[in-house]
Amino acid sequence: MGIIRKTIGTICMVIGMLIVPISIFVGYLMRNYAGFMILAFSGLILMAFGYFLYPSERARAFLEEFFHFDEDGNLQ
């Protein structure tokens, strides 16, 4: 279960990090600010989702206040 969670988290982070610069580029060139906002927001949501699915040390320290992790980093 942990490898699936980490894989989904990594994929979400990568897709989100690709969407944000693309949305800035599209919004700047096309002057389509509504499209820019929708793409940027969806990219940021994917990045946040991936960040909490595959927690780094800072995210894990933050999340340990609310959740319990085992040694492998899986939620209990």
What percentage of the chain carries pLDDT values higher than 70? 76
Mean pLDDT (the chain, rounded): 76
Per-residue pLDDT, averaged over 27-47, amounts to 79
Q: 29 is written with which tokens?
A: 């060139």
Instruction: Report the chain's terminal Cα–Cα distance, integer Å.
Output: 11
Structure confidence at residue 56 (pLDDT): 67
Which amino acid does the sequence have at 67?
F
- Does residue 75 sit in helix, strand or coil? strand
pTM given for the model: 0.59
Q: Where are the domains of the chain?
A: 2-63
pLDDT at 75: 65
